[in-house]
Amino acid sequence: MVQAQTLQHFGNGAREDQSYFDPGAPPPFKIADIRAAIPKHCWEKSTLRSLSYVLRDVLVVAALVAAAIGFNSWFFWPLYWPAQGTMFWALFVLGHDCGHGSFSNSSKLNSVVGHILHSLILVPYNGWRISHRTHHQNHGHVENDESWVPLTEKVYKNLDNMTRTLRYSFPFPIFAYPFYLWNRSPGKEGSHFNPYSNLFSPGERKGVVTSTLCWTIVLSLLLYLSLTIGPIFMLKLYGVPYLIFVMWLDFVTYLHHHGYTQKLPWYRGQEWSYLRGGLTTVDRDYGWINNVHHDIGTHVIHHLFPQIPHYHLVEATKSAKSVLGKYYREPQKSGPLPFHLLRYLLQSISQDHFVSDTGDIVYYQTDPKLHQDSWTKSK
């Protein structure tokens, strides 16, 4: 039955094309085979090296702030905003490593650094860390995944017009992250700030309170600075870079799981496994930004083995390719800046709307009336 659905999805030509590859087919290797192909030193964490990246990024952020205060001109602000927003995103990625434990072998150091970095950019560290762990443990599962999960047809059809338009109309999806932190995704309940949310177990509530408190302190400080030096200046100094950081986060995380040239499967039931779910993730090339955001685009191996430090991901991926074969999708090479990825983002937002309510291997479907109806109602 599953094979028939897959062939129907790709067309009858799949039976005749000997070069056809079904990404939803069970892989002929095990996760232990991938692990064995990765050099042992790729698993080693260097606290000093990780801290050096923090020092580098914090110094750049501080230098940009000093330059913005010094120049304070409309000539400089348009240069400052994308640069600082990108550095906020780089800080998030380092905090992300702390959340996975790939920053260092010290859980206390990981927690302290993670709280500092994420609180500075208004991310509740433990709330995010726990839900992100759920994402990794259930990647590729229709119901149990946590990040950019597909909506089932039933949930999709029950969305109100405003939610549906915002979710599937550019540029609104790339500003979704703050709303996700407060309310999660459509069809899911809970908040990353509420210790009693169903995202968390009773034993995790204290950590969520700590993170929410840190977030509140930073927000209070930002409000105080707004009153002291003026809200317009703080909007230019922090607010616009924060929005650009949010754009980076949504842009990158969405394209890790969407927008590949061939539609990739989502799973349920017995068809899902940790390995098969992880193999639906996609690597991306970001050109000059690869080094700035700590190779987060090297995502397949990261999803399968989040314990590997970011500075070993490129080498680990090269070593694993011989095992992964066609299950690894080589990223399209980027120019200095990843403008080529905008095409895949726009295409996916316009086509990937929902998945079937039934079936253990499903693919995104398109609602052809979505934008047509929106246009008709706006006239």
pLDDT at 7 > cutoff 60: no
pLDDT at 177 > cutoff 90: yes
Residue 159: the pLDDT is: 87
Mean pLDDT of 306-333: 96
Residue 377: the pLDDT is: 44
Residue 371: the pLDDT is: 63
In this prediction, residue 262 has a pLDDT band, given cuts at 50, 70 and 90, of confident
Domain boundaries along the sequence of the chain: 43-373
Q: Which residues of 257-290 are buried (b: 16+ CB within 10 A; e: fewer)?
A: bbbbeebbbbbbeebbebbbbbbbbbbbbbbebb
Residue 186: the pLDDT is: 74
**Tens of pLDDT along 180-214?**
999 887 778 889 999 999 899 999 999 999 999 99
For the chain, the average pLDDT equals 91
Mean pLDDT of 68-81: 96
DSSP-derived secondary structure letter, 227 = H
Residue 325: the pLDDT is: 95
C-alpha distances out from residue 44 to 1, 50, 313, Å: 44, 11, 12
Residue 18: the pLDDT is: 45
Mean pLDDT of 325-338: 94
In this prediction, residue 315 has a pLDDT band, given cuts at 50, 70 and 90, of very high
**Tens of pLDDT along 132-166?**
999 999 999 999 999 889 999 999 999 888 888 88
**Tens of pLDDT along 207-249?**
999 999 999 999 999 999 999 999 999 999 999 999 999 999 9
Nearest to 47 by CA among 108, 2, 103, 86: 103
Least confident stretch, 56-60, 180-184, 282-286, 336-340 = 180-184
- Cα gap 281→322, rounded to integer Å: 17
- Cα gap 369→356, rounded to integer Å: 17
Residue 163: the pLDDT is: 84
pLDDT at 375 > cutoff 70: no
Least confident stretch, 64-73, 129-138, 164-173, 369-378 = 369-378
- Cα gap 294→92, rounded to integer Å: 10
State what percent of residues in the chain have pLDDT above 90.
Answer: 82
pLDDT at 50 > cutoff 50: yes
Cis before residue 171, ω within 30 degrees of 0? yes
CB 149 within 8 A of CB 319: no
Q: Residue 362 — φ and ψ, nearest 5°?
A: -130, 160
Q: Residue 289 — φ and ψ, nearest 5°?
A: -75, -15
CB 109 within 8 A of CB 125: no
Nearest to 185 by CA among 205, 166, 200, 212: 166
3-state secondary structure of 265: coil
pLDDT at 53 > cutoff 80: yes
